[in-house]
Amino acid sequence: MRAQDLDRFCGLPYCARSMDCADLFVLVQRELFGRAAELAGTRPRPRRQADQAAQLVAHTAALGRRVDAPQDGDAVLMLDSGQSTPGHIGTYFFLAYEPWVLHTSHVIGASRMHRLHELPAYGLRVEGFYRWN
């Protein structure tokens, strides 16, 4: 994967109704990897963070198996600060010899690429990486 391939997914405005982290993940899976991801697809999504996390965890089995060594396109499940259940998802990429995560949230305001090691600065902790079966 090349960074240029991801440019069109960066800067998409966050919208709780149409472009949250799950929407971005599904879009990237479909357009870059040809996968028909179904992930927390019901609308409207729950408003409370704990309810969103419960819905995401309920769909974790659809992601496939947990892996220790992620590859491009793998799901990255994350916990928001103070949460005990992962309620945030992104897509893993290895670019320019570094691990990156493409994700979006109301905190960052639009879809962005962040180095994996930068996530704690945004109140995020990685729960794990998941690969499609």
For the stretch 26-54, pLDDT in tens is 899 999 999 887 765 555 565 666 666 66
pLDDT of 99 reads 98
Composition of the chain by helix, strand, coil, percent to 5: 30, 30, 40
> CB–CB of 89/25 below 8 Å?
yes
**Residue among 77, 80, 35, 33 nearest 58 (CA):** 77
Which range marks the domain in which residue 33 is found? 3-131
Residue 6 DSSP symbol: G
Residue 86 binned pLDDT confidence (cut-offs 50, 70, 90): confident
Domain count, the chain: 1
pLDDT, tens digit, for every residue of 3-17?
Answer: 888 999 999 999 988
Q: What is the pTM of this model?
A: 0.85
